[in-house]
Structure formats: C-alpha cells, structure tokens
Structure 1
Amino acid sequence: MRNVDFSPLYRNAIGFDRLFHLMENQSAKNTSGGYPPYNIEQKDEHHFRITMAVAGFAEEQLDLTQNENMLIVKGERKAEEGKNYVYQGIAERDFERKFQLADYVTVAGASMENGLLHIDLVREIPEAMKPRKIAIGGSQLIDNN
C-alpha cells in the first residue's frame, strides 16, 4: 500500500491543515486491506475529489452515506449461483471504506465512469468563521471581498 506524503503541502501553511491530517490518519487506520484502491485529489483550496476503483460494481450496488464528518462508501455484490469457475482472479467481494472528513466538508456529488467512482467534496466555511480585517484605530470591520 502506498503512503501519501502531504508534508510539501504543509510548508504553505502555519500549523497544519486538519483535512490532510485526518486523511493521513485514515490511511494508517484502514483495515480493509487496501480494497478498493482510491486516490484523493485536491482541485483547489476548497474542492477535493476521491476516486475509487470499483470495477465490476454497478451503481445500484454502491451506497454512499455522509453522517456528520464521516463518509462511508459500501459496495455489496449478490452471489451469482450456477457459475463454476475454473479460475477466479477478479475480486468479487463486498467492501466498506470510511473517510473522516474535516469540518465544513460536504459531498457535492458522485459519478461513475469506466469503473471509477468519483466523489466530489467541497469545503464551505460559514460566513461567521471566515477571517475579517479589523481597521487599526477603529472598531469597523473591513470585508475581505
């Protein structure tokens, strides 16, 4: 299993970004044996994409659930009776992957393409949590926008 090194991304920030920290911990705690494999891509500061290789699964056999800061992806295949395999090298097993999401990260959508499940995530920080400039010598707030 490959470990992703996010340390180059930390150089641009003071402290650490909780999202990357949680993703690193998730890969260390994952007990599903690396199945199915997945990638996590950062498109920009607030948009991310998880891509999972789910070849052989139909959309109806996949279930995505977000419960607070936890994203759960399940794949369930029904056993096909009457098949007598001489050799079976294609993994046909159920799976469950859990991803711990950072605060204010939600699932924006999901799609299937060529055996890959794409899950788009967006971080929407509430207006009250966004940084604001304070004018020196006054009590007026200056909007960053």
Structure 2
Amino acid sequence: MTKMTLGAHPYMLGFEQLERLLERSAKAGNDGYPPFNIEQTSARSYRITLAVAGFREEDLAITLEDSQLVIRGRQSDDGEGRHFLHRGIAARQFQRSFVLADGVEVGDAIMENGLLHVDLTRVEPENVVQTIAIKKG
C-alpha cells in the first residue's frame, strides 16, 4: 500500500503548494524559544502571544512572507564593559514562523508587560456559484 500525499489525491486539485507550506513550516527554526500561546478570540479571530521579556519593540521584526508570518527577535548585547558574576539572562535571537491560511489577515501587534500580541482575522470568503457552459468539440 502506498501512502497518498495531499497533492497526489485525485480529488484534491491544486493543493501542491499547501503540502510544500506544511513541509517548510515543519523544517522552520522553531526550537521552542520563545514560548507562545495561540488563542481563538472570536469565531473569526486569533491572537498569537509570545513571551519576549527583555526585548524592546526595536529588537523585534514581524513580516509576512509567502503566507508565512515570521517573528524575529535580536537583542543587542549590552554586556560590554560589564563584569557578570552570573549571567543567566543571555541576549538571544529567535525566529518563529506560523503558516497562515488564505484569507487570514494580520492585524495589530501590541507589546505589553513582556508579551508580544499579534492579532489575526479570518476574512469569510463569499460563496460564489458559477455555471460553466459546455461547448461542442
């Protein structure tokens, strides 16, 4: 028995890109840092919250790249000239990626108490019924 992929299923036409997106998101550099929550705030909206204590707004970048929401953080190392007896809080960079479905729009990004909130909204597509004319061959 052979395993059928989403792009090879006979009734699922044009979904090859979705399969590539899933593969790419599985390979993305999401190593568990920083921790995050995803909550559904209404029937059509979501909020991603990342714990980014120690980061300033200017240390963070949020981009939308080919249906992928990418959040990057890079702290400047301000430890030069300082002598640490213990350094448990390191300046660490990160990249978090989230694949967004068609129709999901990125809204506000809010920094609050060491948490970065990114709001998403799913736009409801309108139902369209189209009649296709049959031509004689």
Q: What TM-score does the superposition give when structure 2 sets the normalisation length? A: 0.69
SS where residue 43 of structure 1 aligns?
A: strand
Which residue pairs with 1:50 in the alignment? 48
Which residue pairs with 2:85 in the alignment? 86
Q: Which has the larger radius of gyration?
A: 2
> Matches of 2:68 and 2:48 in 1, distance apart?
14
Which residue pairs with 2:16 in the alignment? none
Displacement of 1:125: 2.8
Structure 1 stretches lacking a partner, 5+ long: 1-21, 133-145
> Matches of 2:87 and 2:117 in 1, distance apart?
27
> Matches of 1:39 and 1:83 in 2, distance apart?
35
Per-residue deviation, residues 30-86 of structure 1 (Å, max 9, x unmatched): 544210000000112210000000000000110000123100001111122112211
Which residue pairs with 2:109 in the alignment? 110
Per-residue deviation, residues 65-122 of structure 1 (Å, max 9, x unmatched): 0123100001111122112211111232011111111111111110000000000000
Change (3 A) 1:91 1:79: closer
Contact in 1 for aligned 2:63/2:70 (Cα 8 Å): yes
> Matches of 1:131 and 1:121 in 2, distance apart?
24
Letter of the structure 1 residue corresponding to residue 86 of structure 2: Y
Q: How many residues align?
A: 108
Which residue pairs with 1:122 in the alignment? 121
> Matches of 1:117 and 1:48 in 2, distance apart?
14
Which residue pairs with 1:15 in the alignment? none
Q: Kindly, what percent of the aligned residue pairs are identical?
A: 49
| CA RMSD after TM alignment | 2.4
Q: Which runs of 4+ in 1 moved over 6 A?
A: none
Which residue pairs with 2:66 in the alignment? 68
Contact in 1 for aligned 2:29/2:96 (Cα 8 Å): no
Contact in 1 for aligned 2:60/2:73 (Cα 8 Å): yes
> Matches of 1:50 and 1:78 in 2, distance apart?
24
> Matches of 2:49 and 2:73 in 1, distance apart?
14
> Matches of 1:34 and 1:131 in 2, distance apart?
41
Contact in 1 for aligned 2:68/2:100 (Cα 8 Å): yes
SS where residue 58 of structure 2 aligns?
A: helix
